[in-house]
Structure 1
Amino acid sequence: MGNDPAGRASRRVFVVAFLCLCISLGITAAQAEPSAIVDNFPGAAFETTTPETAGWSAERLAEAKAWSQKVEPASAVMIVQHGRVVAEWGDTAVKSNLHSVRKSLLSALIGIAVDERKIDLSASIGSLGIDDNAPSLTEAEKAATVADLLKARSGIFHAALYETPGMARLRPPRGSHPPGTFWYYNNWDFNALGMIYERAVGQSIFTAFDEKIAAPIGMQDYQPGDGEYVRGAASDHAAYPIRMSARDLARFALLYLHGGRWKDRQLIPSAWVRESTQSYSDAYADRGPGLGYGYMWWIGFLHNMGAPTVKVPPGTFEAMGAEGQYVFVIPAYDLVIVHRINSDIPASQRKEPTFQQMARLLWLVLSAAGDKDVGPDITLAHAVGTRLEGDALKAALAGKTLSVAQSLAGGPYAWQIRADGTLSILAGAERRERSSGKWGIDDRGRYCRTLSEPRPREFCFAVVANQGRLQFFDADDLMRFDTVAE
């Protein structure tokens, strides 16, 4: 029955009719049937609609646009629901580097190759002849499977190409974790997967993507020449950056929203889409709960980083890359959100949004869609309580210990704020000192602190007292810490 074309078609008709009824009654996306995904695919170009017709809040969408352009004026954003563009701004046609979003594209290709029995997820990389330059891989490292690499759990901590300084700095020592036992976001895994894929199919990633995905879904801008290899002395495994437009990335996201199906063609096995977009690891638990990792896809979002951020619907997954590259797939609302920043623009003219800033944009978009379970508005303008400034703030803080971020890995955390102007950040039940620094009150009446770090920076916060809690708001007027005075 599940494969009956007539039955499937009748269900589609029912879903479309149901959604039309919802719109006519003014029911928002969040109130509609969560699993109702409309079979509406763009043709040569995307269809557009108005927020009012789509049942969205035009006012809240305008807030989202204003926030996005305040945080990063160079951003390009597309919001697509039921296959139609509800809102967009910036240059959505320009092609720029996807950065790590490339990995989710390769995940799709690997899923196709697995279905064609060209790649075996259980195969060890040793059996596939995968090694690296000196110091080459050990036999223990060669026991890692293709699945381990997809999950970023290989245990192989060889130097990799195209990794950020932060990734290299956090890389564990060689041999410290057996394959399959430890998650580390590792470009070595992702680059080696590129070689494994190309050997298995006898074709470049860029050509295969064009033939198997880009052309069938009608990408408007992508060409195989938009990919390149990055090679170097650090590793034998090249990176494979890809340039793509926001509107083409939105099509790729729609393909995943529809379980790998485009119109009547199943381009990516539906089982692979489900398998690759479920979480196998808690990612960055030291920064906050809520973010998981699948097969080169991120699952959920960091929903508390010392203070609430945004609560995304169950089933949400995304691809993310450096320099502000995000694509969110939200099946619960038949919704795709693409956020791009063109990293070709000189660095002096752009900046990468923080997780908190992206969380605020996501909060505004989901609120505009009518989501009632997106979490609280954590802006200073909506803070409940008494704003403390100057001497009153100094008196409230001096000599106090504040408990914060109880849910973060490595916690609980506490701030020991001393009357002499020094402070310590304490971690764990044993309250070991994690860092230290200085604090004071600036001429605007805010709490400011500078931690002793390789590149110390001063950060200042507005503070609101709320029923025994002290809430700290950053330069964007977003709650950054929600603390309790001990």
Structure 2
Amino acid sequence: MKTIFTLFSILLSFYGYSQTFPNKEWTVNPNTSDIGWDPIKMKHFNDFIVDSTKVTGLMIIQKGEIVYQYGNLEQLSRVASCRKSILSMLFGKYVEDGTIKLNETIGDLKIDDIGGILPIEKKATVQDLLSARSAVFKNTNITVPNANLPQRGSHEPGSYWLYNNWDFDTYGTIFELKTKKNIYDEVESQLAIPLNFQDWNRGAQHKVANPSSNSPMYHMWLSTRDFARIGYLMLNRGNWNGKQLISKYWVDEMLKERTNYKEVNDHVDYFKGAQLDIGYGYSWWLVQNTEDYRFKNAFFAAGSWGNGIVVYPNIDTVLAFVTCELYERINSSDIRQKIRYKAADIFNPEWDKQYVTTNNNAAITLTEIQKKEYLGRYQLAKRPPVTIKNTVQGIFVELPNGRNQELIPIKGDKFILKGQYIAGNIPKTIQFVRDEKGNVNELVLLVDANKELKFKKIL
């Protein structure tokens, strides 16, 4: 039986609950409904991922344990623009030791590019680049659609937010220029090794030349389960099992608002009217303007096709998902937004108060002769059959996976599933159907108001 939590007590438990850190493997929590995850919404989320998305791997982690997983979690996938958020993490140690100075300008660093850099643009600082506020409006793949790209030189650096790959690729060049280190070697030393990545492949990492810029794109290939480790590090403010890999100061700097959601909405049409308002920090997206405690202080890395790391600090949860580009499948921006919202929306410590349970339904009494009429095996098309059996505890349906579900007789040949939580006041029912001689020959499972499955009796 699920323990009932008040919202107050569950939040207290989060603040006092020590985190679990994965070693070689993630731990799976087998009792997610007991810790606040709505089983009906979880099923709906799974149906959404399977039926409406092209996602190839997805994990939801709470307090270091898997509460949901889907797809191929080991497969390496190009994580698209999430690379920018990851590189932002690597800046921290070099900003703090003075190797990289955030107030240095691209003019100071003698950064040039194809077609030249305007004098006003040379005033853009490293901080401006990290914030996507350089005001260098070179059209090198504007990855967030903009109907009206500003004219070159029309804004002072720092005064205008534009999600433009020029900024991100250029600060990749600056990172290697100042540190004398390869980006991928730094991913390995700062993240892959200390976080014990399960699928890291240094040989799979390589840059891609940009024909319109001197700075290449530093794409990254990661698995879903390693992606989740990065998110879990960010959830713990840079601390991994007692070791501070990225300083709390730098995590806070990355997640400090550099662009308010109102400016993002003005510049990005598809964020207008979305379920969540989104601002921007140092290459991390920030959830803003929400009263829902599950989304307060949340932040995420986002990549095209359908890649993302989302951190929900108030519920100690991380979402990681990838869509492998090898299959040439793309999730729309709307689908990506829905994934981020729906994942946290599953969590509700008082979920069972929203549903009626079938346990309170009064059962009618059946004689042993009546029970015997229902017993046997029933099959849907060519799927493995289910078995209706009688025990001292009552009538059960045995599923192909060996699980037993008790049935409650309620009227005539109709039964409901015991222990079921009912959404929309429509319980799952089993109706036995008789032939013209009065013999039971079919089982009809009512899934919902619009769906029923018919199983023929075979024994």
Q: TM-score, normalised by structure 1?
A: 0.65
Is 1:45 the equivalent of 2:29?
no
Contact in 2 for aligned 1:97/1:343 (Cα 8 Å)? yes
Question: Alignment partner for residue 197 of structure 1, among 147, 154, 175?
Answer: 175
**Paired position in structure 1 for 2:287:** 300
Q: Distance in 2 between matches of 1:372 and 1:288?
A: 31
| Compared CA separation, residues 165 and 35, structure 1 to 2 (3 A) | closer
Offset of residue 320 of structure 1: 0.2
- Letter of the 1:365 counterpart: A
Contact in 2 for aligned 1:300/1:312 (Cα 8 Å)? no
Question: Alignment partner for residue 185 of structure 1, among 163, 167, 172?
Answer: 163
**Paired position in structure 1 for 2:133:** 153
CA RMSD of aligned residues (A): 2.6
Contact in 2 for aligned 1:325/1:339 (Cα 8 Å)? yes
Question: Alignment partner for residue 239 of structure 2, among 237, 261, 265?
Answer: 261
Q: Distance in 2 between matches of 1:43 and 1:336?
A: 17
Structure with the greater alpha carbon radius of gyration? 2
Q: Distance in 1 between matches of 2:216 and 2:8?
A: 43
**Paired position in structure 2 for 1:64:** 45
**Paired position in structure 2 for 1:320:** 302
Is 1:339 the equivalent of 2:324?
no
Return 5+ residue gaps in structure 2 as ranges.
352-459
SS at match of 2:67: strand
Question: Alignment partner for residue 185 of structure 2, among 207, 216, 221?
Answer: 207
Contact in 2 for aligned 1:98/1:241 (Cα 8 Å)? yes
Contact in 2 for aligned 1:152/1:184 (Cα 8 Å)? yes
Is 1:330 the equivalent of 2:312?
yes
Q: Distance in 1 between matches of 2:6 and 2:27?
A: 21
Contact in 1 for aligned 2:208/2:219 (Cα 8 Å)? yes
Question: Alignment partner for residue 280 of structure 1, among 258, 262, 274?
Answer: 258
SS at match of 1:79: strand
Q: Distance in 1 between matches of 2:163 and 2:340?
A: 23
Q: Distance in 2 between matches of 1:352 and 1:320?
A: 12
Offset of residue 263 of structure 1: 1.2
Alignment of 1:68-107 (within 5 A): 68-107=49-88
Contact in 1 for aligned 2:105/2:123 (Cα 8 Å)? yes
Deviations 1:161-196 (A, max 9, x none): x554946x6532210111010000011110010011
| Compared CA separation, residues 341 and 44, structure 1 to 2 (3 A) | same
Q: Distance in 2 between matches of 1:205 and 1:324?
A: 23
Alignment of 1:168-247 (within 5 A): 170-247=148-225
Contact in 1 for aligned 2:55/2:306 (Cα 8 Å)? no
SS at match of 1:313: coil
Offset of residue 269 of structure 1: 1.2
Deviations 1:68-92 (A, max 9, x none): 1111254321000000001101111
Q: Distance in 2 between matches of 1:339 and 1:170?
A: 31
- Letter of the 1:110 counterpart: F
**Paired position in structure 2 for 1:353:** 332
Q: Distance in 2 between matches of 1:89 and 1:238?
A: 33
Offset of residue 362 of structure 1: 3.9
Deviations 1:388-409 (A, max 9, x none): xxxxxxxxxxxxxxxxxxxxxx
Contact in 2 for aligned 1:159/1:235 (Cα 8 Å)? no
- Letter of the 1:337 counterpart: L
Offset of residue 128 of structure 1: 1.3
Q: Distance in 2 between matches of 1:148 and 1:84?
A: 37
| Compared CA separation, residues 29 and 92, structure 1 to 2 (3 A) | farther
Q: Distance in 2 between matches of 1:95 and 1:181?
A: 38
- Letter of the 1:267 counterpart: L
Moved more, 363-372 or 188-197: 363-372
Contact in 2 for aligned 1:29/1:370 (Cα 8 Å)? no
Return 5+ residue gaps in structure 1 as ranges.
1-22, 374-486
Q: Distance in 2 between matches of 1:48 and 1:337?
A: 14
Deviations 1:276-332 (A, max 9, x none): 1122113234542711000000001797xxxx9x88521100000100112110110
Contact in 2 for aligned 1:69/1:75 (Cα 8 Å)? no
Q: Distance in 2 between matches of 1:30 and 1:231?
A: 53
Q: Distance in 2 between matches of 1:30 and 1:292?
A: 30
**Paired position in structure 2 for 1:110:** 91
Q: Distance in 1 between matches of 2:5 and 2:162?
A: 45
Contact in 1 for aligned 2:131/2:281 (Cα 8 Å)? yes
- Letter of the 1:244 counterpart: L
SS at match of 1:86: strand
Q: Distance in 1 between matches of 2:19 and 2:124?
A: 40
